[in-house]
Amino acid sequence: MTKPVVDFADTVTSAHRRLADLPDRVVQGDPHHTTELRFTSADGALIAGTWTSTPGKWRAFANRDEFCVLLSGHVKLISEDGTEQEFRKGDSFLIPNGFHGFWHVLETTTKHFVIRDYSAI
């Protein structure tokens, strides 16, 4: 049986967290995240949803590919070598597996995302 197309207007689960609860990650500020998961594959390795973060800076999570479309806000992605890339509302980008660096949310940001999590495989 074919699964239905996932409509991002339908929320499956919603979670809130204060990133400071992961103290080894936060570098600046007190970012709070809300994640609305709309799809999780049977093996848990592919997820898609909508995410919102308040301003702050933290170490990026590894072992994943992540495609993002910014719905609002302003962010910088900063690689370990200091290269900075800025993205704003309407921008889309892919963070490839192997990226090491930081997320820096400059304005509260909301994005749609699709993540392939290699640690779940």
> In Å, how far are 50, 51, 111 from 69, measured between CA atoms?
9, 10, 5
Lookup: tokens for 29: 């500020």
What is the value of pTM for the model shown? Answer: 0.92
pLDDT tens per residue across span 41-64: 999 999 999 999 999 999 998 899
pLDDT for 1 equals 63
Lookup: tokens for 59: 């170490």
Q: Domain ranges for the chain, please list them.
A: 13-120
Identify the CATH class of 13-120: mainly beta
C-beta neighbour count of 52 within 10 angstroms: 18
- CA 67 to chain CA centroid, Å, is 8
Q: Per-residue confidence at 21, pLDDT binned at 50, 70, 90?
A: confident
CA-based nearest residue to 102, from 74, 73, 62, 72: 62
Strands (E) across 41-89 are located at 46-53, 56-59, 64-79, 84-88
> In Å, how far are 11, 35, 76, 115 from 4, measured between CA atoms?
14, 22, 35, 19
Report whether 115 contacts 47 (CB < 8 A): yes
